[in-house]
């Protein structure tokens, strides 16, 4: 099936639109043909057209059988004549049906009703019914299959339960779990077997429509528009891990439906997949942005909120100073352009590594935010204490790192001051209880994505917009670094970032490009592409396989989408009206009368058809022709199959 089609109850359509007759013309022709046939039969019956139509009967039937006194008797004669009349009526009926296209009327208006009724009445066969657990029966686990069938018939099994147990069975087949453990768990707990660590079997509530068998979440309906391929028109539009694995970028102004129509349905779907053991999801957005209730997540990190149970690990859970320095440098200065002095990410990574390595060697942990700020500022006290501790420990190599850092202090090209200014944005009273490295808090690390975890991170955008952008870059950098080193990549990992303003950097684009091979993806939303540096807009659109332009985008945003979607060959029809000039007096009189009646001169129409190359969606169309509540969406799945830009009704 083509990418993005909602598979549940889907009826395939032809790839190309058939040359259908307009409904009014088709029904009118069918009615007129019926009336013509009825009139012809009536005229034949009453002899108004003569009796020539009896000649074939006279030529074929012997004289001894004709009439009521023939060899067949009255009954035989009646049957013979009435049968012949019926045959003539059938011939007329067949001719009328062909002339009036009754077959097309049947296929278009009547047959679909019978087809839908038969589909509603059909139940899948035992061989095709997923509820029969035939895979377990084929493997010899008949008792397990019978237990699950009984649970389903009793109404104790939900769609998440089915998906979760199927995931566990796939683990048995791949060798990750033992058959005995799986069998024992199902026979003991039935539909509640192999539970998610949270013990939950479903979300507190659902807003979107989900299909756990295919893994899809329905976002809307593909519009019945000539610009959409015929096979997609009127079908449901859905996303699943096979599409999210190529990452999704959605651009639209505030109020266009990004959060409610895209972000939360996708996050809700991924949370259901996590409960089924299929996925790990991290949802990042502003506090109160409508990213679902806290009960839908296992971990909720409310940065800047004193009531937050969980903290965020500033260093991503790593113990390698170089790795921690690279991720932290991307978060702090990854958005600064190269013309800024000392803003190069590699130099920033080196500066941070010169401090993080010695500090960890002495204290067994990385510095807290205030300590890191003092070290970057070059405060004599902290640097002196760190030097003395390294000398006492005999860490000569790390002393050389610290010496290099001290020599760079105060130089015009030193990046330490830039890093210190950025760290100062996190060293605020509102964040005093966060980013703790002493072990007294419960920090969340993105290294937990090896497990089916559901995480929501609330950013403190009110009053701390710059700090929120740093934290968003930090989470994205940690995500791309963590998923690439996972041992078990059968678990789909996804980062949903509700507002990616200030987050897109060269390293972030490179990280997004690497996610597909790691069975991971991102969902990014932007109010406008102006929030992305101009040199990165093309690479960002190229790195994401699924691109969405919502109603209300600007023409210059539409131009970027139009360029990445390219052009296609289409048929252009040029119509020319040429005035007809009469030569004869009668013709001139007729033209004058026609001009009085119609108000226009008589013309002859000429149609020229040619093939031209045009943009699939122009910048002007994207800015002005997309109705409210709609979006234009192109799709690419992890196998490389793609769908052209589709006009989608997100409210359908």
User: Over the stretch 533-560, which tens digit does the pLDDT of each residue have?
Assistant: 999 999 999 999 999 999 999 999 999 9
CA gap 529, 548 in Å, rounded: 12
| Mean pLDDT computed over every residue of the chain | 88
In this structure, the number of other CB atoms found within 10 A of the CB of residue 460 comes to 20
Tokens of 246: 């190529």
Q: What is the pLDDT of residue 63?
A: 65
Place of tokens 């006290």: 381
- Which residues are paired to 613 by β-bridges? 569
Q: Model-level pTM?
A: 0.83
Placement of tokens 């377990």 in the chain: 136
Average pLDDT over residues 60-74: 59
Q: Residue 596: pLDDT band by 50, 70, 90 thresholds?
A: confident
pLDDT band at 426 (very low <50, low <70, confident <90, very high): very high
Sequence-ordered list of residues with C-beta below 8 angstroms from that of 133, at least 6 positions apart, any chain:
144, 145, 148, 149
Section 480-488 average pLDDT: 89
What is the per-residue pLDDT for 541?
Answer: 95
Contact 240, 641 (CB under 8 A): no
Rounded distance between C-alpha atoms, residue 170 and residue 175, angstroms: 9
Decide if pLDDT at 120 tops 60: no
Task: Look up residue 79 and give its two tokens.
Answer: 């049957």
Confidence of residue 66 (pLDDT cuts 50, 70, 90): low
pLDDT above 80: residue 64:
no
pLDDT at 309 over 80: yes
Dihedral (C-alpha) 357, 358, 359, 360: value to the nearest 10 degrees? 50
Taking the C-alpha atoms of residue 285 and residue 460, their distance in angstroms, rounded to an integer, is: 9
Structure confidence at residue 474 (pLDDT): 96
SS3 of 628-642: the string is: CCEEEEEEECCCCCE
Report pLDDT for 341.
45
Cα→Cα distances 3→43, 230, 371, 648, Å: 58, 14, 51, 14
Residue 342 half-sphere exposure toward CB, CA atoms < 13 A: 18
The dihedral through the CA atoms of 144, 146, 149, 150 has a sign that is negative
pLDDT digits (tens, 9 = 90+) for 322-369: 999 999 999 999 888 554 444 567 889 999 999 999 999 999 999 999
Residues in the chain: 652
Spans of all domains in the chain: 23-100, 130-192, 319-425, 570-615
pLDDT at 3: 92
Structure token pair of residue 650: 């997100």
* Backbone angles phi and psi of 522, in degrees to 5: -130, 155
Yes or no: say if 351 and 363 are a contact pair by the CB < 8 Å rule. Answer: no
Which CA distances in Å does 268 have to 22, 216, 237? 43, 11, 16
pLDDT (0 to 100) of residue 593: 73
* Average pLDDT, integer, range 95-115: 83
pLDDT, mean of residues 101-108 = 85
Residues 152-175 have pLDDT tens digits of 999 999 999 999 999 999 999 988
Q: Check pLDDT > 80 for residue 310.
A: yes
- Of 4-18, 364-378, 519-533, 587-601, give the lowest mean pLDDT range: 587-601
pLDDT band at 280 (very low <50, low <70, confident <90, very high): very high
Q: What is the pLDDT of residue 617?
A: 93
Average pLDDT rounded to a whole number, residues 6-23: 78
Q: For residue 384, what are the contacts with CB-CB under 8 A and spacing of at least 6?
A: none
pLDDT confidence of residue 344: 67
Query: Can you give the pLDDT at residue 239?
Result: 97
Give the mean pLDDT of 455-467: 90
Banded pLDDT at 601 (limits 50, 70, 90): confident
Quote the pLDDT of residue 117: 63
For position 611, what pLDDT does the model report? 85
């Amino acid at each position: 099936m083509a990418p993005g089609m909602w598979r549940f109850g889907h009826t395939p359509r032809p790839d190309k639109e058939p040359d259908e007759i307009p409904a009014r013309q088709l029904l009118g022709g069918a009615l007129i043909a019926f009336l013509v046939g009825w009139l012809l039969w009536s005229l034949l019956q009453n002899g108004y057209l003569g009796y020539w139509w009896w000649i074939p009967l006279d030529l074929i039937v012997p004289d001894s059988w004709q009439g009521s006194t023939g060899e067949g008797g009255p009954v035989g004669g009646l049957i013979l004549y009435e049968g012949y009349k019926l045959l003539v009526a059938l011939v007329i009926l067949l001719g009328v049906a062909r002339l009036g296209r009754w077959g097309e009327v049947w296929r278009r208006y009547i047959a679909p009703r019978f087809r839908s009724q038969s589909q509603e009445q059909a139940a899948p066969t035992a061989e095709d019914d997923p509820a029969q657990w035939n895979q377990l029966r084929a493997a010899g686990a008949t008792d397990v299959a019978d237990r699950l069938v009984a649970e389903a018939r009793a109404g104790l099994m939900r769609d998440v339960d089915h998906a979760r147990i199927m995931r566990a069975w796939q683990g048995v087949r791949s060798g990750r779990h033992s058959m005995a453990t799986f069998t024992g768990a199902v026979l003991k707990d039935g539909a509640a077997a192999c539970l998610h660590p949270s013990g939950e079997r479903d979300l507190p509530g659902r807003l979107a429509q989900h299909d756990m068998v295919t893994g899809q979440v329905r976002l809307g309906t593909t519009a019945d528009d000539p610009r959409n391929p015929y096979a997609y028109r009127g079908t449901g539009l859905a996303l699943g891990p096979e599409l999210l694995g190529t990452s999704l970028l959605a651009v639209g102004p505030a109020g266009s439906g990004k959060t409610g129509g895209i972000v939360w349905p996708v996050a809700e779907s991924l949370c259901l997949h996590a409960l089924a053991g299929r996925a790990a999801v991290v949802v990042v957005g502003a506090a109160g942005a409508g990213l679902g209730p806290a009960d839908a997540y296992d971990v909720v990190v409310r940065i800047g909120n004193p009531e937050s149970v969980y903290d965020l690990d500033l260093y991503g859970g790593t113990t390698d100073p170089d790795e921690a320095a690279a991720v932290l440098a991307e978060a702090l200065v990854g958005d600064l352009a190269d013309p800024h002095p000392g803003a190069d990410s590699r130099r920033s990574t080196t500066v941070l590594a010169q401090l993080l390595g010695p500090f960890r060697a002495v204290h067994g942990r990385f510095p807290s935010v205030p300590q890191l700020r003092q070290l970057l500022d070059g405060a004599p006290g902290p640097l002196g204490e760190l030097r003395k501790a390294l000398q006492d420990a005999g860490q000569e190599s790390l002393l050389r790192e610290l010496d290099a850092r001290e020599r760079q202090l105060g130089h015009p090209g030193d990046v330490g001051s830039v890093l210190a200014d950025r760290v100062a944005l996190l060293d605020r009273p509102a964040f005093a209880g966060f980013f703790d490295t002493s072990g007294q808090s419960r920090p969340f690390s993105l290294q937990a994505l090896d497990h089916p975890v559901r995480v929501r991170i609330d950013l403190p955008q009110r009053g701390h917009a710059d700090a929120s952008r740093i934290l968003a870059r930090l989470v994205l950098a940690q995500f791309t670094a963590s998923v690439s080193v996972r041992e078990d990549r059968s678990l789909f990992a996804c980062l949903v970032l509700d507002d990616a303003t200030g987050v897109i950097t060269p390293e972030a684009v490179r990280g997004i490009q690497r996610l597909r091979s790691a069975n991971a993806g991102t969902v990014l939303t932007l109010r406008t592409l102006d929030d992305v540096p101009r040199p990165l807009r093309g690479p960002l659109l190229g790195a994401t396989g699924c691109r969405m332009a919502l109603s209300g985008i600007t023409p210059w945003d539409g131009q970027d989408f139009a360029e990445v979607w390219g052009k296609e060959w289409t048929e252009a029809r040029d119509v020319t009206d040429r005035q007809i000039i009469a030569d004869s007096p009668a013709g001139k009189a007729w033209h004058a009368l026609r001009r009085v009646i119609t108000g226009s001169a008589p013309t002859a129409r000429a149609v020229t058809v040619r093939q031209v190359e045009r943009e699939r969606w122009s910048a002007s169309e994207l800015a002005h022709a997309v109705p409210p509540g709609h979006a234009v969406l192109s799709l690419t799945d992890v196998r490389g199959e793609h769908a052209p830009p589709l006009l989608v009704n997100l409210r359908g």
